[in-house]
Amino acid sequence: MANNVVVLEGDALGVRRRSQWRYAARRFFANPLAIVGMVIVTMALACAFFAPIIAPYEANWGDLGRLYVKPPSPEHPLGTDDVGRDIYSRIIYGAQISLKIALFSQALGVLIGTALGLIAGYYGGFVDSLIMRFVDVFMAFPLLIIAIALVAVLGSGENNLIIGLAAVIWPGVSRLVRAQVLMLKETEYVSAARLIGVRDGGIMLRHILPNLLTPLIVFATLGTAGVILSEAALSFLGLGTADATTPSWGKMLAESRAFIRSAWWMPFYPGMTIFLVVLGFNLLGDGLRDALDVRAR
């Protein structure tokens, strides 16, 4: 079966009947890599939501009785860190902060980017040029550098991390949305809506926005992979959450650098976790793109 190479004729613009979603779901589940991605992402989310239930130890409970750094053992499957804390439990708790920041900043960035992209594409003219010049300036920077600068200036902490990361997400979203809107606003159903007197806001929200959904879902899923990497990079550079006791994958990795000679498991597992979760989001995003037949990126 050539399930995952099926290219649907037609476009993402037309009316999608419910059956289209069923076809998409069938294509998605015929793709083993997409399923792997979905499983990884689901597991990561489960860790974030149910950390206190899943984790065998508390995040900051340290086994100070014996040697602090301990290699993996049945008691501590991924070993313990320099103050005797269970790395397995800390990774599970770390999902809370890493995923929260990634998902919130992604949501904020997509929201702002979609709004601006809709307005720029729909109204055109001066508003369009103004918004797109802003986008150009942001895109002129290597994005991680802006995030680093913003968080460094605002100060570390969850909210500032989310703001800093969202600031580098929105320009790409705006570009994507604007390009789609430019095509969509020439369609007949938009002209028809305008003819019967639907107001601009109604056309944008009720007629154009729903058609942006599939490219945005794909873009946001693939983007989340990138945000998790960026968040880890910022934490690694010491710009993560301000709270010293909250475990985050990037921070665990940064703290482990002093111990690479004595405790290989300290850097290995947190980094492996970041890698797997990012891989999961990438596989899921690729799978969704193929199944929904959109060209994002």
Partner 1 sequence: MTRYIISRLLQLLPTILGIYTLAFFLMRVLPGDPATFIIGVRDDTEAVDNLRRIMRLDEPLLNQYLGFLGDGLRGDFGRSYITGQPVSEMITTAFPITLRLALAATFFAVVVGIPLGVIAALRRNSFWDNVSRLIALVGVSIPVFWLGIQLQILFGLQLKWLPISGSSEFRHLILPAITASGGMLALLTRMTRSSMLEELNQDYVRTARSKGLRERLVTMRHALRNALLPVVTVWGGSLAGLLSGTLLVEVIFNWTGMGRLLVQAITTRDYPLMQGLIIVLALLYAGVNLMVDLLYPLIDPRIRYGK
Determine if 35 is a binding residue for partner 1 (CB under 8 A): no
Positive or negative, the Cα torsion across 33, 39, 41, 43?
negative
21 vs 141, which CB is nearer to partner 1?
141
- Which long-range contacts link 140-146 to residues 24+ away (Cβ below 8 Å)? 143/168, 143/230, 144/168, 144/230, 144/233
> Looking at 56-64, 123-131, 150-158, 193-201, which segment touches partner 1 (CB under 8 A)?
150-158
Going 169 to 172 to 178 to 184, the CA torsion angle's sign is negative
Asked if 136 interacts with partner 1 (CB under 8 A), we say yes
Alpha carbons 235 and 229: distance in angstroms, whole number: 10
Q: Any contact of residue 242 with partner 1 (CB under 8 A)?
A: no
- The stretch near partner 1 (CB under 8 A) out of 1-9, 70-78, 87-95, 151-159 is 151-159
Residues 253-292 interacting with partner 1 (rule: CB under 8 A): 253, 256-257, 260-261, 264, 267-268, 270-272, 274-275, 278-279, 282-283
Among 54, 112, 127, 154, binds partner 1 (CB under 8 A): 154
Binding mask 88-127 for partner 1 (x = CB under 8 A): ----------------------------------------
| Among positions 43, 144, 183, 217, the unique one binding partner 1 when judged by CB under 8 A | 144
Q: Which two tokens stand for residue 75?
A: 């008691």
Least distance to partner 1 from the beta carbon of 242, Å?
14
The smaller minimum CB distance to partner 1, of residues 12 and 132, is found at: 132
Smallest gap from Cβ 156 to partner 1, in A, equals 10
133 belongs to the binding site for partner 1 (CB under 8 A): yes
Listed residue (142, 168, 157) closest to 238, CA to CA: 157
Closest distance between partner 1 and the C-beta of residue 220, in Å? 16
Q: What's the rounded Cα separation, in Å, for the pair 42 and 254?
A: 26
Look up residue 168 and give its DSSP letter. H
As a whole number of angstroms, the distance between CA 102 and CA 100 comes to 6
Q: According to the binding rule CB under 8 A, does residue 161 interact with partner 1?
A: no
* Coil, strand or helix at 75: coil
CA dist 184 to 13, 130, 187, 208, Å? Answer: 7, 21, 5, 7
Helix, strand, coil share of the chain (percent; to 5) = 70, 0, 25
Draw the binding track, 188-217, toward partner 1 (x: CB under 8 A; -: no contact): ------------------------------
87 near partner 1, judged by CB under 8 A: no
43 is a site residue for partner 1 (CB under 8 A) = no
How many other C-beta atoms are found inside a 10 Å radius of the C-beta of residue 1?
A: 6
145 versus 192: smaller Cβ distance to partner 1:
145
Buried b / exposed e across 212-230, counting CB within 10 Å, b at 16+? bebbbbbbbbbbbbbbbbb
* Residue 247: strand, helix, or coil: coil
Binding status of residue 218 toward partner 1 by CB under 8 A? no
What are the residues binding partner 1 (CB under 8 A)? 133, 136-138, 140-146, 148-150, 152-155, 225, 229, 232-233, 236-239, 253, 256-257, 260-261, 264, 267-268, 270-272, 274-275, 278-279, 282-283
